[in-house]
Amino acid sequence: MEVPAPAEAGSSVEPEAAWPDESAEAQFLAEARERGEPVTSAPTPTAEPEVPEPDPAGPAPELDALVARLPPAVRETLDELFRARFVRVTRLPRKTLTAAKG
């Protein structure tokens, strides 16, 4: 009886799994229906009406004022973990912020 050689470090023993194609997905769903499992299709994103971006209420606040609003412990942790430095204030479009939620 032969013993397989151990896999080298960093190499994967299993080949990468291929993503199923449309026919495999349809077959899986048909089998699930036959077993009586509830099968629902993936929700399709609904198109929301485009809302015009309101004009900013004024100029962006000063960087020092915003940094001062952070608790000292948060500033120290950011500096310790990430060496984060605040360099500018930028307004982001509302669409960018709502897309990140989803």
Per DSSP, 11 falls in state: -
Q: Is residue 17 included in any domain, yes or no? A: no
Averaged pLDDT, 10-25: 70
The whole domain housing 80 covers 60-89
Q: What is the pTM of this model?
A: 0.38
Overall domain count for the chain: 1
Length of the chain: 102
Averaged pLDDT, 72-100: 84
Residues 6+ apart with CB under 8 A from 94: 51, 53
- Distance linking the first and last C-alpha atoms of the chain: 54
Nearest to 58 by CA among 85, 88, 87, 89: 89
- The DSSP element (H or E) to which 29 belongs, if any, is helix 22-34
Give Cα separations from 80 to 65, 73, 74, 77, 85 (angstroms).
21, 10, 10, 5, 11
Q: Is residue 68 included in any domain, yes or no? A: yes
Residue 101 has pLDDT above 70, yes or no: no
pLDDT tens column, 31-70: 989 999 888 876 666 666 777 777 777 888 899 999 999 9
Q: Is residue 20 included in any domain, yes or no? A: no
